[in-house]
């Protein structure tokens, strides 16, 4: 059974960039999760550019738990949350 995670981030204005994974972190996600079929991800931006929605669908709940426990992902998430907080972004996780 698949497991889905949705994250929405609203920024205060379009002059502030959304935080994201570094190129190295993106490669890690691609190699470990996407290429192996454990994860599919889509990112959409609202028409006004104020909100992004990231939908991640994991093949199993265990794949999701492995992703969350991955030290590379934990570091990335900590850095992203700190950047969001510093810039006044409001992340919402479903």
Q: Where are the domains of the chain?
A: 3-93
pLDDT over threshold 60, residue 94: no
Fold of 3-93: Alpha-Beta Plaits (3.30.70)
> Could you give the percent of the chain with pLDDT greater than 90?
66
pLDDT tens per residue across span 15-57: 888 888 999 999 999 999 999 999 999 999 999 999 999 999 9
Q: Is 57 helix (H, G, I), strand (E, B) or coil?
A: strand
What is the distance, to the nearest Å, from the Cα of residue 80 to the centroid of all Cα atoms in its chain?
9
The 3-class secondary structure across 37-55, one letter per residue, is: CCEEEEEEECCCCCEEEEE
**Per-residue pLDDT at 69 exceeds 80:** yes
Distance CA 59, CA 85 (A): 31
Q: So what's the pLDDT on residue 12?
A: 82
Q: How far apart are CA 34 and CA 39, in angstroms?
A: 5
Average pLDDT over all residues of the chain: 90
Rounded to two decimals, the pTM is 0.83
Query: How far is 49 from 32, CA to CA, in rounded Å?
Result: 30
């Amino acid at each position: 059974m698949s497991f889905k995670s949705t994250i929405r981030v609203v920024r205060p204005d379009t002059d502030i960039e959304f935080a994201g994974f570094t190129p190295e972190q993106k490669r890690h996600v691609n190699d470990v999760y996407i290429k192996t079929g454990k994860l599919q991800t889509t990112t959409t931006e609202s028409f006004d550019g104020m909100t992004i929605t990231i939908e991640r669908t994991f093949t199993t709940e265990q794949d999701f738990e492995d992703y969350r426990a991955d030290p590379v992902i934990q570091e990335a998430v900590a850095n992203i949350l700190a950047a969001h907080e510093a810039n006044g972004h409001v992340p919402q996780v479903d």
